[in-house]
């Protein structure tokens, strides 16, 4: 049975997905923001100062981005996977679809900023969306979010800008949490999501994913690297693979190999090289730099 809170969340989702004006969306996001952080009663100049401090905190040190809603996580706050997926798709499409024109699934809003008022509304909307995207970046790797981000990538199949920005967010999120236990616990799903970006049909998305793969790979164990390498090799060897997939896989393999070095065990004599005994065969090991 749905609670009053569940119904309220669904109502906000409906407003966000079917809003016909920026003001309507801004009001809905503001309401959602207040629910997630009820103690925040800032307004006017104080509100702008709080936002500035939040953004500044994101760029300081290596502790990761500032979490605007630390009391909640997206996967626990939304009542179902489908609602989480809807909100995730909304966030990325609305934030990054401005250059896409009318190709998106949402109602087009202010694609042409013609007045100062339009510019103010667009800036306010983007700032709110960025706050929720930072909330996503701060989350531990978990299956609901991995599924939801996968849906968001698929959702943007005909929106290259949105798709690319979604993969940038995904790869940066994985970079931030690659040293955490949750990342390795869900490695199979993580690997699948990475491969989606590496093998994307758009070269921009492939380059985005491969470029950011290095920092993630540096946190993988040798066995995990071997698993990723094997999946990439399968793509290259599959005669049914599209050329874009093969190109992306080759770039990723090249990146992984550059981060490693092959070390051989030389035979103890020239004779062993031609007639090696079972226990003295040359072996090669993959060693991370």
Residue 88: closest CA among 137, 33, 40, 158: 137
Q: Would you state the pLDDT for residue 99?
A: 82
For 189-223, give one letter per residue: b (16+ CB within 10 A) or e: bbbebbbbbbbbeeeebbbbbbebbeebbeebeee
Give the C-alpha separation, 133 to 136, whole Å: 5
Q: Where are the domains of the chain?
A: 4-214, 262-289
Q: Would you state the pLDDT for residue 49?
A: 52
Compute φ and ψ for 261, nearest 5 degrees.
-140, 140
Q: Residue 73 carries which DSSP code? A: -
Q: Which two tokens stand for residue 137?
A: 């970046």
Give the C-alpha separation, 5 to 89, whole Å: 21
Say if CB 186 and CB 124 are below 8 A apart: no
Q: Would you state the pLDDT for residue 263?
A: 62
Report pTM. 0.82
DSSP annotation string for 139-207: SPP-HHHHHHHHHHHHHTTT-HHHHHHHHHHHHHHHHHHTTSHHHHHTHHHHHHHHHHHHT-SSHHHHH
Q: Which two tokens stand for residue 3?
A: 């609670």
Q: Would you state the pLDDT for residue 10?
A: 84
- Strand segments, DSSP code E, in the chain are 260-264, 284-288
Q: Would you state the pLDDT for residue 107?
A: 59
Q: Using the structure block, give the residue that is written with the tokens 């090289």.
A: 273
What proportions of the chain, in percent to the nearest 5, are helix, strand and coil? 65, 5, 30
Q: Would you state the pLDDT for residue 39?
A: 66
Coil, helix or strand at residue 11: helix
Q: Would you state the pLDDT for residue 119?
A: 83
Q: In a structure prediction context, what are the per-residue pLDDT tens digits for the chain, which is 289 residues long? A: 566 677 778 888 898 988 888 899 999 999 999 999 876 544 444 444 554 454 444 444 455 689 999 999 999 998 899 999 999 999 999 999 988 766 666 656 655 556 778 788 889 999 999 999 999 999 999 999 999 999 999 999 999 999 999 999 999 999 999 999 999 999 999 999 999 999 999 999 999 999 999 999 999 988 999 999 999 999 999 999 999 999 999 999 999 988 776 665 555 554 444 444 555 454 445 555 5
**How wide is the angle at C-alpha 57 spanned by C-alphas 42 and 48, nearest 5°?**
30
């Amino acid at each position: 049975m749905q609670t009053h809170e569940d119904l309220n969340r669904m109502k906000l989702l409906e407003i966000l997905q079917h809003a016909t004006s920026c003001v309507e969306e801004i009001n809905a996001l503001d309401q959602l923001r207040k629910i997630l952080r009820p103690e925040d009663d800032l307004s006017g100049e104080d509100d702008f100062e709080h936002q500035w401090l939040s953004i500044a905190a994101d760029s300081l040190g290596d502790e990761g981005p500032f979490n605007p809603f630390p009391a909640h996580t997206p996967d626990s706050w939304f009542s179902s996977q489908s609602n989480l997926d809807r909100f995730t798709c909304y966030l990325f499409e609305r934030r990054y679809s401005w250059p896409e024109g009318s190709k998106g699934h949402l109602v087009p809003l202010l694609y042409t900023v013609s007045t100062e008022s339009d510019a103010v509304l667009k800036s306010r909307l983007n700032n709110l969306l960025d706050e929720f995207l930072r909330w996503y970046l701060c989350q531990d790797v978990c299956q609901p979010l991995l599924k939801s981000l996968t849906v968001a990538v698929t959702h943007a199949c005909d929106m290259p800008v949105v798709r690319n920005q979604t993969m940038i967010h995904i790869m940066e999120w994985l970079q931030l949490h690659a040293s955490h236990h949750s990342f390795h616990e869900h490695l199979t799903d993580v690997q699948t999501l990475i491969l989606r970006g590496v093998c994307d049909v758009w070269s921009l998305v492939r380059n985005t994913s491969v470029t950011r793969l290095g920092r993630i790979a540096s946190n993988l164990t040798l066995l995990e690297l071997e698993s990723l390498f094997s999946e990439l090799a399968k793509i290259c060897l599959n005669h049914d693979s599209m050329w874009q997939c093969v190109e992306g896989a080759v770039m990723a393999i090249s990146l992984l190999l550059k981060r490693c070095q092959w070390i051989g065990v030389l035979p103890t004599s020239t004779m062993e090289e031609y007639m090696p005994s079972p226990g003295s065969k040359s072996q090669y090991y993959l060693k991370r730099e």
